[in-house]
């Protein structure tokens, strides 16, 4: 029993006596409906067993006794779970409009197994093609000429136009409407429309991949190809004519469309050496430097433009420029993570690293270890960005002056709590450190030592900065009228942390209502 409860198909390897055991089979088919295949013939006639199997996997209907394949309720269970299970239903039920509608709603391809009379039923076919566009191939020929049906199918997929009547594939207005919603449908339109500029433009504007199906003359058409590329899809360039990819004006237009750095990769190789094109590309997206020729990765102007736009482009610069102090400074100012690509000598440059830390504390993570152990430097760093303490040598988390500088630094308001959380326990008991911290970030009270969560002055400072800090105050102070009044005056929602006895205090209730967020 345990085996089939975990793997229903394991029923097939069990002794015949188990396959005749109704309870065992019920457990197996509930886990995997396909286990019905291995059940004893008597149980494949059992309505409840088959229903359980079909609920888990509609395809299990194929293993049911023929009598149950004509049972409307059992078949409905099966096609609700798997529309294509209709193929295993009795012919009488494949003529049943309601059964077929349920099946087609679950999987449009179930239309294939419906009775021919229902393949001409517009409502049934509409449901099917709306769920699965390719279901159009199974519809009656009369409905393959129905614009509403074909358009509904083409909105879901591009393939259905393949199965539409030839008259619709030659209908210009219809094809224009279809490709405007699904550009790839152009593949199955009449060949004359692959020469029609308006239709081609509508198709490639909707889906760049439709460029594969246009007449070759449009692969050299700058407007058409740019319309495809403009979807932020550099892959469209693979279907452009080589002559167009060698056109410098076209190349410049492509790389300045938007910030898709990979477009440079798909242009002609000659442009990876062309300073104008590469400069335009990296100005739009610095990461395009990745595809530039090595000579341009040594070009200071090109690299400076790249790292100004995207600091991490420093990764692709020539080694000589990763030693350039100005280049590295600009890169790290734009993105502190760029510091990881700088030459080792600059990772130890105090000014470069300090400027980077001012933009993001994580920069210190890439600095030379000597700087992370240098007290004067770390003190200067945490004054710029308190969170730099996270990346400094751990010994500084016990240094009172460094910690005080971190929690009182510019930008520490609202962030000081995280710093306090990371420092040595001894400093979380230090009244001066905690007071300075909660004055900047009231919620930091959470990380203060319990003794300071009972300190009235510390708690008052915390709730004055953020009323919700009342949550972390000692229970005795949550009964203190002045403390609670200060908290709700800052944030009315703090009332929920106050002692129940103060909820009816007129002044407190009024202050809370006034400051409710």
pLDDT digits (tens, 9 = 90+) for 28-53: 889 889 989 888 899 999 999 999 99
Do 258 and 230 fall into the same domain? no
Q: What is the pLDDT of residues 208-223, one digit of tens each?
A: 999 999 999 999 999 9
Q: What is the pLDDT of residue 12?
A: 61
The residue out of 323, 347, 371 marking a domain boundary is: 347
Query: What's the pLDDT band for 25 if we cut at 50, 70, 90?
Result: confident
The residue out of 281, 316, 347 marking a domain boundary is: 347
For the chain, the residue count is: 517
Q: Are 163 and 144 in contact (CB under 8 A)?
A: yes
Q: What residue ranges in 336-423 does DSSP mark as E strands?
A: none
Span of 45-59, 93-107, 263-277, 478-492 with lowest mean pLDDT: 263-277
DSSP for 242-293, written as a single string: HHHHT-HHHHHHHHTSSS-TTHHHHS-GGGGS-HHHHHHHHHH-GGGGGGS-
SS3 182: coil
457 belongs to a structural domain: yes
238's CB contacts (< 8 A; 6+ apart) are 266
Do 180 and 227 fall into the same domain? yes
Do 205 and 279 fall into the same domain? no
The residue out of 347, 363, 385 marking a domain boundary is: 347
Do 272 and 302 fall into the same domain? yes
What's the rounded mean pLDDT across residues 304-318? 97
154 belongs to a structural domain: no
**pLDDT greater than 60 at residue 517:** no
**pLDDT greater than 90 at residue 470:** yes
Q: What is the pLDDT of residue 416?
A: 84
Rounded Cα distance between 154 and 130, Å, is: 9
**pLDDT greater than 70 at residue 371:** yes
pTM here is 0.65
Query: What's the pLDDT band for 292 if we cut at 50, 70, 90?
Result: very high
96 belongs to a structural domain: no
Do 320 and 273 fall into the same domain? yes
Do 195 and 270 fall into the same domain? no
Q: What is the pLDDT of residue 412?
A: 63
Higher pLDDT, 439 or 267: 439
Q: What is the pLDDT of residue 5?
A: 60
Do 267 and 217 fall into the same domain? no
Q: Are 288 and 264 in contact (CB under 8 A)?
A: yes
Q: What is the pLDDT of residue 504?
A: 87
260 belongs to a structural domain: yes
Name the DSSP letter for residue 95: G
State both tokens at 108: 């449009």
Do 224 and 176 fall into the same domain? yes
Q: What is the pLDDT of residue 259?
A: 64
517 belongs to a structural domain: yes
Q: What is the pLDDT of residues 315-350, one digit of tens each?
A: 999 999 999 999 999 999 999 999 999 999 999 999
175 belongs to a structural domain: yes
270 belongs to a structural domain: yes
Number of domains in the chain: 3
**pLDDT greater than 70 at residue 8:** no
Rounded Cα distance between 513 and 476, Å, is: 23
Closest CA to 397 of 428, 440, 355: 428
Q: What is the pLDDT of residue 11?
A: 66
482 belongs to a structural domain: yes
Q: What is the pLDDT of residue 268?
A: 86
Rounded Cα distance between 178 and 150, Å, is: 9
Rounded Cα distance between 95 and 93, Å, is: 5
Do 189 and 214 fall into the same domain? yes
Residue 66 CB-density burial (10 A; 0-12 exposed, 13-18 middle, 19+ buried):
exposed
Q: What is the pLDDT of residue 325?
A: 96
Domain limits at 320? 246-347
**pLDDT greater than 80 at residue 6:** no
């Amino acid at each position: 029993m345990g085996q089939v409860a975990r793997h229903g198909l394991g029923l097939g390897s069990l002794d015949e006596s188990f396959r005749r055991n109704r309870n065992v089979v019920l457990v197996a088919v509930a886990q995997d409906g396909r286990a019905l295949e291995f059940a004893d013939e008597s149980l494949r006639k059992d309505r409840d067993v088959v229903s359980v199997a079909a609920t888990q996997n509609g395809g299990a209907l194929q293993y049911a006794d023929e009598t149950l394949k004509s049972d409307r309720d059992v078949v409905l269970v099966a096609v609700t779970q798997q529309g294509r299970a209709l193929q295993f239903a009795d012919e009488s039920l494949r003529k049943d409009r309601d059964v077929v509608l349920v099946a087609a709603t679950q999987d449009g391809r179930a239309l294939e197994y419906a009775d021919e009379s229902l393949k001409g039923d517009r409502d049934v076919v509409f449901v099917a093609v709306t769920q699965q566009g390719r279901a159009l191939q199974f519809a009656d020929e009369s409905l393959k000429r129905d614009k509403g049906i074909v358009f509904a199918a083409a909105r879901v997929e591009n393939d259905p136009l393949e199965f539409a009547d030839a008259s619709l594939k030659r209908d210009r207005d219809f094809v224009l409407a279809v490709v405007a919603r699904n550009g790839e449908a152009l593949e199955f339109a009449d060949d004359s429309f692959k020469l029609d500029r308006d239709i081609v433009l509508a198709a490639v504007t909707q889906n760049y991949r439709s460029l594969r199906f246009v007449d070759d003359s449009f692969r050299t058409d700058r407007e058409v190809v740019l319309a495809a590329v403009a979807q932020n899809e550099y892959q469209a360039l693979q279907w452009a004519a080589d002559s167009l990819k060698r056109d410098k004006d076209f190349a410049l237009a492509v790389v300045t469309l938007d910030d898709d750095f990979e477009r440079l990769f798909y242009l002609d190789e000659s442009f990876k050496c062309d300073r104008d094109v590469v400069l335009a590309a990296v100005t739009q997206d610095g990461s395009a430097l990745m595809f530039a020729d090595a000579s341009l990765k040594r070009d200071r102007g090109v690299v400076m433009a790249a790292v100004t736009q995207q600091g991490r482009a420093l990764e692709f610069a020539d080694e000589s420029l990763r030693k350039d102090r100005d280049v590295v400074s600009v890169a790290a100012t734009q993105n502190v993570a760029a510091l990881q690509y700088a030459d080792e000598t600059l990772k130890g440059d105090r000014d470069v690293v300090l400027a980077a830390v001012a933009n993001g504390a994580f920069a210190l993570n890439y600095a030379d270890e000597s700087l992370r152990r240098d007290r004067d430097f770390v003190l200067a760093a945490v004054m710029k960005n308190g969170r730099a303490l996270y990346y400094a040598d751990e010994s500084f988390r016990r240094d009172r002056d460094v910690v005080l500088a971190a929690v009182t630094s510019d930008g520490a308001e609202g962030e000081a709590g995280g710093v306090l959380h990371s420092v040595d326990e001894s400093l979380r008991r230090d009244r001066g450190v905690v007071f300075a911290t909660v004055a900047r970030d009231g919620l930091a009270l959470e990380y203060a030592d319990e003794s300071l969560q009972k300190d009235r002055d510390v708690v008052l400072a915390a709730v004055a900065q953020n009323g919700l800090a009342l949550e972390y105050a000692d229970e005795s102070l949550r009964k203190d009228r002045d403390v609670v009044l200060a908290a709700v005056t800052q944030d009315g929602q703090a009332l929920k942390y106050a002692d129940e006895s103060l909820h009816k205090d007129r002044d407190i209730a009024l202050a809370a209502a006034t400051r409710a967020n």
